[in-house]
Amino acid sequence: MSAARQRPFRRVTSTALAVLGAGVLVAGCTSNTPEASGGGGGGGGEAASPNDEAGETVRIGFSAPAADHGWMAGISQAAQAEADRYEDVELSVAEGTNDVSTQISQVETFINEGVDAIVLLPFDGAALTPVALRAMEAGIPVINVDREFNSPFAAQATVLGDNYGMGVSAGQYICTKLGDQPDAVVAEIAGIDSLPLTQDRSQGFADALAECGLNVDNRVAADFTVEGGERTAANLLQAAPQIDAIWNHDDDQGVGVLAAITNAGRDEFFMVGGAGSANAMREIQGGQSVLEATVIYPHTQAADGIALARLLVQGKSLSDLASQGVPQRIVLDAPVVTADNVDQYIDAAFES
């Protein structure tokens, strides 16, 4: 029996480093393929990290919402690719669903099958909390991804993107361009307004703009779809005859936003996207679009969850940290991608 199974409610207290880049989890700590170069947290000289060594087989159940847009498809693809990197990981993937009852049943099946760990991106964090608690009570560690449960006891580790930080990053970028123009007109195309993630993104954006004396002059909300982005952007452009900058929360809906901008023949502003899709980065690379930056919301969160599940079950630690164990909560960075650094990110981006 694994260490994680013996101590299902062991809580890691060494979380001084609460914010880690995805590379720490995926590239640096848990590879099964030792690198020739030295360094890293596993030992000196050319010694590989102990995490590179294959251990006992880890059976992981994975459930996420339906891949009905590019970012969510990227989540599931990255999770599978991460599992495929390890000869000691067996991944059982439930069919993506936006039906809460179906997802609860999927987790119940994982519990009944006695998997070693569950990586769960819940369609609704509150609704999936009770079944996640049951998994934990059964001795199966749960790694919560992206949408949080409403009980701290429902997961042994949580991996999150930084929605507030996305807004801050977008606002700070616009401030670097327009901070000396107090009369600049800034517009915002949000996602679904009822979602806390949208509210967090908007709050971060407003807070960052306020630091340079700007504010959101025109704001509309779409629905994270291409169609919704095009419809909402068309309405915005009709209502605002002059705009200096737009932040669009989501690159999937940004496909429609860009179509509306082209149809309207508008190019007096620049735009910042959100999430970090490959097609958005290609627009940035091309240099001919109003889209000149995008803020990453990592689609690798579930992949990080797979890596953490393996470590937890095998009783290992993050080798790049001095402290033992795995952090309870990891919030990933929200970097801005521009023409200057797009080559660093595009190969790992998801397709809208």
Q: What does the alpha-carbon distance between residue 220 and residue 229 come to, in Å, rounded to a whole number?
A: 10
- Can you read off the two tokens belonging to residue 67? 């891949």
Q: How confident is the model at residue 10 (pLDDT cuts 50, 70, 90)?
A: very low
pLDDT of res. 63: 98
Please count the CA atoms within 13 angstroms of the CA of 24 that sit on its side-chain side.
18
Q: How confident is the model at residue 4 (pLDDT cuts 50, 70, 90)?
A: very low
Domain locations in the chain?
3-161+299-327, 163-297
CATH code, residues 163-297? 3.40.50.2300
For residues 96 and 26, the model is more confident at 96
pLDDT of res. 322: 86
pLDDT of res. 319: 81
State pLDDT tens for residues 184-206.
999 999 999 998 899 999 999 99
Do 3-161+299-327 and 163-297 fold alike per CATH? yes
Average pLDDT for the chain: 88
Q: How confident is the model at residue 12 (pLDDT cuts 50, 70, 90)?
A: very low
CA distances from 282 to 261, 288, 303, 339, 349 (A): 17, 10, 24, 10, 10
Please say if the pLDDT value at position 154 is more than 80: yes
pTM above 0.85, yes or no: no
* Pick from 35-39, 152-156, 257-261: least confident: 35-39
Q: What does the alpha-carbon distance between residue 264 and residue 287 come to, in Å, rounded to a whole number?
A: 19
Which class in CATH covers the domain with range 3-161+299-327? alpha beta
